[in-house]
Amino acid sequence: MKIRSALAIILALPFVFISRLSSAESAVAAPMQATTVAMKKVSFTPSLPAFAKSSLPERIAGEQEALVFSAPPHETEAEALRTYRPIAEYLTRVIGKKIVFHYPKDWLTYQKEMQLGSYDLVFDGPHFNSWRISNLRHHTLVKLADEYAFVVVVRKDDRITNLKQLAGLKICGMTPPDFGTLAVLSQFDNPMRQPIIVNTLGSTKVYEGVAIDKHCSAGILPAASVKKFNESAKLLRAIYMTQPIANQAFSAGPRISREDQARIAAALVSPEASQVVSRLIAANGADQGLVFASKNDYTGLDVYLKDSWGFGH
């Protein structure tokens, strides 16, 4: 889908986009072209704590060698458990082996445990799926059928009209290595002209940080989530959209047999799973639900992680 056509679709939602984006701002480099963009050091607020010693192996042993399912800390632990624990319980019944959901307390913990291969089943962004395929012998199973894109929004009455004007200003969003943030930061190639990312948990908080509280000049939102905010047409407009790519997906590691991986994939797209995955689909604004995925959908997307801690080659 071309970026202009994708923007046209979003215009149908209750959200006001600027009528035209300059060609420099609407033309986004394809994923493989991101290799030429140096993702420089960026200031983040607040800073995250250093890694704590992992207790995950001990917890696995306590669960009698249960398979571990995880996802990024995009929401609070309580919200994550409501979304993912029913999926873990459902898949336990499907394959006859215990699967437990592990909530990472922060992004650094999530990165560390992923890189150590602690997670057997994961639901997360396309760049992480690509990296695990290349480095941890993971296989993608199913993905959200809708394309994955992010928009940068500003207040409707603000004079900001293009992305580069945000250099030095605060943007509400998830800290890297969140995909939307990495994709936006890749457009700033001057290390002296960078925005400040204010770590903001969840789309609602991003929206409020820009439109209501006004402590950020802009926000990074999943394009699919803007329809949730009924007042957005009065308060916000978009100045930039990232290149749409394959959406978030489930991947499985080598401790899950290929036969069980096939069972998990089939179970997740079956009608019987509709109630179990409903919160996940709703949270991501995925109108088309889950479909089977291929590793080819994610080839090369790990390039977005090349300057992220622990992911570089």
Does residue 50 fall inside a structural domain?
Answer: no
Predicted confidence (pLDDT) per residue in 88-111, tens digit = 999 999 999 999 999 999 989 999
pLDDT in the model for residue 229: 86
Q: Report which residue type is found at 138.
A: H
Looking at residue 231, which CATH number applies to its domain? 3.40.190.10
Least confident of 5-9, 249-253, 295-299: 5-9
Mean pLDDT of 271-282: 96
Q: Are residues 60 and 183 in the same domain?
A: no
Mark whether 194 and 76 lie in a shared domain.
no
Residue with the larger pLDDT of the pair 232 and 303 = 303
Same domain (yes/no): 237, 256: no
- Is the pLDDT confidence value at 286 over 60? yes
- What pLDDT is attached to residue 151? 97
pLDDT for residue 7: 43
Q: 261, 141 in Cβ contact below 8 A?
A: yes
Bridge-based pairing of strands 249-252 and 139-144 is: antiparallel
Residues 257 and 135 in one domain: yes
Of 212, 241, 270, which marks where a domain is finished? 241
Of 241, 263, 287, the position where a domain reaches its end is 241
Number of structural domains the chain divides into: 2
pLDDT at 31 > cutoff 70: no
- Residue 117 makes CB contacts below 8 A (sequence gap 6+) with 136, 253
Could you give the CA distance from residue 110 to residue 125 in angstroms, rounded to a whole number? 13
Q: Nearest 5 degrees, angle CA 51-CA 105-CA 273? A: 135
Is 46 domain-assigned?
no
- One domain for residues 138 and 250: yes
In a domain, 170, yes or no: yes
Residue 42, domain member (yes or no): no
Query: Whole domain around residue 133: which residue ranges?
Result: 56-146+246-305
Q: What are phi and psi of 311, to 5 degrees?
A: -100, -20
Out of 241, 272, 296, a domain closes at 241
Mean pLDDT of 17-34: 38
Cβ-based burial of 46 (10 A; exposed 0-12, middle 13-18, buried ≥19): exposed
Are 136 and 270 contained in the same domain? yes
Query: Do 296 and 240 contact (CB within 8 A), yes or no?
Result: no
Rounded CA gap, 144 and 184, in Å?
21
Side chain identity, residue 295: K
* pLDDT confidence bin for 187, thresholds 50/70/90: very high
CA distance 15 to 13: 5
The answer to whether residue 48 is domain-embedded is no
Residue 68 pLDDT exceeds 90 = yes
pLDDT of residue 303: 93
